[in-house]
A and B are shown apart, each in its own frame.
Chain A
Amino acid sequence: MKHYEVEILDAKTREKLCFLDKVEPQATIAEIKNLFTKTQGRSLKDEDVLQSLPVGTTATFYFRDLGAQISWVTVFLTEYAGPLLIYLLFYFRVPFLYGPRYDFTASRHAVVHLACACHSFHYIKRLLETLFVHRFSHGTMPLRNIFKNCTYYWGFAAWMAYYINHPLYTPPAYGDEQVKLALAVFLFCQLGNFSIHVALRNLRPAGSKTRKIPYPTRNPFTWLFLLVSCPNYTYEVGSWIGFTIMTQCLPVALFSLVGFVQMAIWAQGKHRSYLREFRDYPPLRSPIVPFLL
């Protein structure tokens, strides 16, 4: 069969955009457009093999400078270590945070001590997961992300910690019942979140960047995969809702809300890329909230 060579030029600048070797005579314009956008739009992966790319005998690569980069691990460690330490500064009422007569005093409310334990546990868990559990798709992200992310995490941590550990803190209105319920929710969601992280890690062999559809495992916490694409985010929001109820603190509620919005956006993106990549993706799943979002 005689193959065609197709050359695509930019209509305005006459620049050669793409050269397609071996185009079948029966190919429709739509198929040619597809071949073209594949060479244009999508960025190439390190693992791609030259021969498998839809280009002719001459391959044209477009170089895009991503700017200064920083590793994901570095960013995660920095943005999580901050809240851990900052919260403790407020918990121990280090000087200059509250009035001098409160320096190094302890709160008289049991829930304040519990909250510190939960908050610290949460961030220690995150640090350990970053070091030992997560397998990252990308090595790096733009450098300015570390400033943006740290401002967000550290800022909110300071804002929350200030009020929870304040001498004039008001404990939850429904007392011990409220705290117990909140603790149960918090722990449940922490376990859930961890289970999902482990399940996702096991999907991917060490050192590889393969992508597979996640499915429920024997661990009941992973059964949320039946309903949701990103149960790790679902559990994370749940944890923070638990912490909000536990501390009855408006800044915590706001932090939970902002976090939820951001994670919902990420979950929708992840959900869409799963749908694009896998034809047989389970249709029942929604991105982050079962049946709703």
Chain B
Amino acid sequence: MASSEEDGSGNGSVEEKENGKKRSLGALATAWLIFYNIAMTAGWLVLGIAMARFYIQRGTHRGLFRSVQKILKFFQTFALLEVVHCAVGIVHTSVLVTGVQVSSRIFMVWFIAHSIKQIQNEESVILFLVVWTVTEITRYSFYTFNLLNHLPYFIKWARYNFFIILYPAGVAGELLTIYAALPYVKKTGMYSLRLPNKYNVSFDYYYFLIIVMFSYIPLFPQLYLHMLRQRRKVLHGEVIVEKDD
């Protein structure tokens, strides 16, 4: 799910999934991660502000995607680095989970919104853009403060509570957008390969998108429940510790 959040540690150096012990990162890795997370927080903030300004000035969402697409594409594509962080080991999350996460975002941005221009003014696009913006600003600032060892409780609270509404809202935005794109994909036959050809393979982007939409059914509940379990562990666990004190 493009709007979902990673579990526990993500881009911070603290391993929340385990017993709260920090793993030591090199100074260079820490510095880079701090820079990366600050830059991403700033990027998504700028995107959010750009979206707000557009709406305030024009009073409509038509043309909003076109006006913010460069910032969106830049910062969302840059997030591919997060897969590298996991692969290299400076972030302790599975490469697979991060890969799926980032891929689904790249897919929505480049293979749906960018390629199928007719759906750029759909309300569902604004929906997932807003959700992503709030989610990413929360997520990246969480990682930033974590790395700096000064995590304000409200950011932790936001990171583990916002998703409850944002996640389903984001999924709705994405699904509605893909659904709106279907007729244009069918009409143009884009990204499709028909038989006969010398590779003896075919690909129908239209049916591929339908399969993608159906795949949300098994995937979304699993990821959502995972976040709920993380939330219980992190926030609930926090409360118990304070009581024992």
Contact = CB atoms under 8 A, between A and B. Distances in A.
Interface of A: 163-164, 166, 168-170, 173, 247-251
B197 interface: yes
A256 to B, nearest CB: 14
B201 interface: yes
What does DSSP make chain B's interface, helix, strand, loop or mixed? loop
Interface string B191-206: 0000111111110000
3 tightest CB-CB pairs across the interface, nearest first?
A250-B201, A168-B195, A249-B200
A247 B202 CA distance: 15
Nearest to A249: B200
B245 to A, nearest CB: 20
A248 B200 CA distance: 7
Contacts of B198: 170, 173, 248
Contact of A247 (B196, B197, B200): B200
A5 to B, nearest CB: 32
Contacts of A249: 199-201
Contacts of B201: 163, 249-251
B192 to A, nearest CB: 15
B18 to A, nearest CB: 13
A173 B202 CA distance: 18
A164 B201 CA distance: 9
Interface string B169-204: 000000000000000000000000001111111100
Contact of B199 (A164, A166, A168, A248): A248
A169 B196 contact: yes
Given A163-B201, A166-B195, A168-B195, 20 more contacts: A163-B195, A163-B200, A163-B202, A164-B200, A166-B200, A168-B196, A169-B195, A169-B196, A170-B196, A170-B197, A170-B198, A170-B200, A173-B198, A248-B198, A248-B199, A249-B200, A249-B201, A250-B199, A250-B200, A250-B201
Contacts of A163: 195, 200-202
A166 B195 CA distance: 9
A168 B199 CA distance: 11
Interface string B8-31: 000000000000000000000000
A170 B202 CA distance: 12
Contacts of B202: 163
A250 B197 CA distance: 11
Query: Which of B199, B200, B202 has the most C-beta atoms of chain A within 10 angstroms of its own C-beta?
Result: B200
Interface in B109-145: none
22 contacts: A163-B200, A163-B201, A163-B202, A164-B200, A166-B195, A166-B200, A168-B196, A169-B195, A169-B196, A169-B200, A170-B196, A170-B197, A170-B200, A247-B200, A248-B198, A248-B199, A249-B199, A249-B200, A249-B201, A250-B200, A251-B200, A251-B201
A251 to B, nearest CB: 6
A164 B199 CA distance: 10
A168 B194 CA distance: 10
Nearest to A254: B201
Contacts of A166: 195, 200
A170 B200 CA distance: 6
Interface in B144-187: none
Contacts of B197: 170
A250 B200 CA distance: 6
A251 B195 CA distance: 14
A168 B201 CA distance: 10
A173 B197 CA distance: 11
A243 to B, nearest CB: 13
B216 to A, nearest CB: 19
A163 B196 CA distance: 10
B85 to A, nearest CB: 24
A164 B202 CA distance: 12
Contacts of B195: 163, 166, 168-169
